[in-house]
Structure 1
Amino acid sequence: MGYVKKAVLLTMLAMIAGLAPTMSVADEKVEGKVVSTNLTLCHPRPTGGGCEGILTLQTSAAGTTQPVSFKVIADTIIRRGQSYLVLPQTQDNSVVVTFVTEKGQKVARSIDVIGAAQ
């Protein structure tokens, strides 16, 4: 019986290791001004989320500014303080986006509005 358990465990570990290259190691964060939103679907939920689309930020790093786009999925929580927002309400605001990279694409996990853009 011990042999069967070890074989099952090794098989499960091999499967997890096979999935690892498609998964992100850790969440990353970036701050910037929302310069555009493209809403493709929205069914707001009382607990946040429900909207899908693309969010584009203008970020500054090392003295240069550049646009960065994020895929927003239905499970992405968008909020300002304790209030939940829908994607278009982030337009022209300063935000912090927590994201992962999946299959080469930045996918937002959460979007926090930290203030009006200056």
Structure 2
Amino acid sequence: MATSARRGPYFCGIDAAMDVVSGKWKSLILWELNNYGTRRFAELRRGLPGVSEKMLIQHLREMEEDGLVHREVYREVPPKVEYSLTEDGVSLNAALSSLGRWGTERIKRIGAEKVDLSP
């Protein structure tokens, strides 16, 4: 189990959960890894249009530190690194699915545009 740098104090469970998913890209990284499985950095970046390389690196490091993402480094030339969800990442993604359904309904209700990210 990974050791997180963030340890509260927390006011409630939502506070603790938001601590590890705060930031625009973290929940989307969880979604991408959940839906497409193990991904290399470039694959993640292509799957998340608009994310900068710097922000993706920062979020992946934080998520690895928080025990949500596993980073596997293969000692080969050229170097190969793959990212996948840990058990905690899978369970957090499952918890966020209700929020995603709520957001989809909101998109419909307010008539907002939804971007199609299909490959």
Larger Rg: 1
The two structures have a TM-score, normalised by structure 2, of 0.24
Structure with the higher fraction of residues in strand conformation: 1
Structure with the higher fraction of residues in helix conformation: 2
The two structures have a TM-score, normalised by structure 1, of 0.24
